[in-house]
Amino acid sequence: MRVEPLIFTAAAAATATTNASLPSLHVPKCPRSAVAYVDQSVPDRGPFPMTTVSLCYDDTSIQLAFKAFNETNYYYNASQTTNGDIWEYEVMEAFLYHGTNDPTTYLEYEVNPNNVTYQAVVYNPTKVRAVGAPFDHFFVTDPATDGFTATTTLDKSKNTWESVAKIPLALFNVDQVKGSRWRMNFFRTITSPSTYPNQTLGAWSPPDQASFHMSPYFGHVVFV
């Protein structure tokens, strides 16, 4: 009897996109910046409330300014703290990898409307979080000392929230920052007391499944 192993699903998903269809971004040195638009739903690529991620770099960090528009819920769990499961509620996220290939490890960074952050290196050897395959997280346990910063501002009269974050470049083994090439994706989750735990998902480069952990979909980024 012929059995299709799970790895077949992973391989099919990994070739479901081509680099030609992936978004790309040229990111300048701060204070200039480039903007990634998180405005498509996952996985159907329909309309999604506008979300912008402005990126720039300096000698020691990547700066990410996330801004969520059309926010009505500001839904988070006040008992969650650093590296808690904040992704169960509302967050904005960046997945970052220094290199050009589809990564099996990358930094997962998240921030919520309560200014709580999540930062972990993800281990995803199938690149698509295949069912039954290993999938792990290695947390950054002292982000403030390591050089992470975050500042979050809510403006409920304008239905927005913003988080400006710095992520230390030293995490990524970059010798020459200018000209370095990256794979990245950006996301936002939306939920509310009446819809939780269900979420509406949005991405810069939407995967073809309701999962963010599919690195063949990461867009291409160059620091110029």
Q: Which positions lie near ligand NAG, rule CB under 6 A?
A: 17-19, 47, 49, 69-70, 77, 79-80, 100-102, 115, 117, 144, 149-152, 195, 198, 216
3-state secondary structure the chain: CCCCCHHHHHHHHHCCCCHHHCCEEEECECCCCEEEECCEECCCCCECCCEEEEEEECCCEEEEEEEECCCCCCCCCCCCCCCCCHHHCCCEEEEEEECCCCCCEEEEEEECCCCCEEEEEEECCCCCCCCCCCCEEEECCCHHHHCCEEEEEEECCCCEEEEEEEEEHHHHCCCCCCCCEEEEEEEEEECCCCCCCCCEEEECCCCCCCCCCCHHHCEEEEEC
Shortest reach from residue 89's CB to ligand NAG, in Å: 8
Q: Which is nearer to ligand NAG, 79 or 145 (CB)?
A: 79
Burial of residue 212 (number of CB atoms within 10 Å: 0-12, 13-18, 19+): buried
The side-by-side arrangement of strands in the sheet containing 61-68 is 34-37, 51-57, 61-68, 160-168, 149-155
Residue number with CB closer to ligand NAG (32 or 153): 153
| Shorter beta-carbon distance to ligand NAG: residue 2 or 85 | 85
CB of 6 to ligand NAG, least distance (A): 19
Least distance CB 54 / ligand NAG (angstroms): 17
- If the CB atoms of residues 186 and 207 are measured against ligand NAG, the closer one turns out to be 207
**In the bound complex, what is the minimum distance in angstroms from residue 62's beta carbon to ligand NAG?**
15
Nearer Cβ to ligand NAG, position 141 or 195? 195
CB of 34 to ligand NAG, least distance (A): 20
Residue holding tokens 């936002």? 188
Output 33 or 192, the one with its CB closest to ligand NAG.
Answer: 192
- How near is the Cβ of 149 to ligand NAG at its closest, in Å? 6
